[in-house]
Structure formats: C-alpha cells, structure tokens
Amino acid sequence: MGVCNSKRVVPVAYKTSVQDIEFIATRCVVCLNEPLNVCLFPCAHLCLCTVCVEKLKQQKCPICREGIVSWKRVFIPISSRRILDGSRRCTNFANTW
C-alpha cells in the first residue's frame, strides 16, 4: 500500500495495535472474517474456518500446498490464542482432540 505521486509509489506507514495483529492472526486465511477452527492433516496448519474448508475446491493447504488427507475442527479458547506461533501449526493443541 502506498500513496502514488507522479514518479513513484511512496509507502505509507500504518500504526497497528497489538489487538489488530491478534485479530488478524486468529482469522481464516481464505475469508479473513471467521475465526480459525480447522486443523489440516498431515501438515497440521491451523489456517481455515469450517465454512471455507467445506468450500475448498483444491484439496491442498493454503499455507504449504501439501495435500489435505483429513481435517479436524478444534476449539481454541480466546485466552489460548496467543499460543499460536507464526507457522500457524496446531501442534500445541494436541489435547483438543
């Protein structure tokens, strides 16, 4: 994103709050609206909502493109959402299934 002047695009700095980052990090990577609640196997990426996983036409993980063998709906309490690391893998939630 940026501002266009006559010669080039000039980047615009945005202030992003911790709450904004946490909100984005806990949203489905397809619709960006619903909360994450689906863990894909075998890659273990936690990146989709139940609505989008049902509509997924290609049976590949949107993060790593590995083939999806199965998926499991998971429940993540709001206080635990900070456990998610940058990889979006759900290995820390082994006790949820």
- Here the tokens at position 96 are 């949820």
pTM attached to this predicted model: 0.62
- Nearest in space to 68 (alpha carbons), one of 77, 57, 78, 83: 57
Domain residue limits, the chain: 15-96
Tens digit of pLDDT for each residue in 17-62?
777 767 777 899 999 899 999 999 999 999 999 999 999 888 999 9
Are the CB atoms for 46 and 26 separated by under 8 Å? no
Domain 15-96 - what CATH class?
Answer: alpha beta
Query: CA-CA distances (angstroms) from residue 25 to 20, 81, 95?
Result: 9, 9, 21
71 - beta bridge partners? 40
- Residue 63 pLDDT > 70: yes
CA–CA separation, 7 vs 30, rounded Å?
34
Quick one: pLDDT at residue 7? 57
